[in-house]
Amino acid sequence: MTARLYDLRPFQSATQQARRAGVDPRIAIREVIAAQQRGEAGHYVAGKYRALAWRGDAPPPKGAA
């Protein structure tokens, strides 16, 4: 039996950005899981939803000019 270890930060970032973009956070979680199972970190998932939120009416993130 083997254990799967996941990096937590990409999950937190992706779900937060998915909520801002109006997307179900469970979709973002599945995408991060798939990325980490392929050996990637999965940080790009948060970036994808961040860009989606910026195109919509969501407020810019803290510190953005």
Q: What is the pLDDT of residues 14-62, one digit of tens each?
A: 999 999 999 999 999 999 999 999 999 999 999 999 998 887 665 566 6
Q: HEC profile for the chain? A: CCCCCCCHHHHHHHHHHHHHHCCCHHHHHHHHHHHHHCCCCCHHHHHHHHHHHHHCCCCCCCCCC
The whole-angstrom separation of Cα 52 and Cα 46 is 10
- 1: confidence class by pLDDT, cuts 50, 70, 90: confident
Q: What integer pLDDT is reported at residue 4 of this predicted model? A: 86
In terms of pTM, does the model score above 0.85?
no
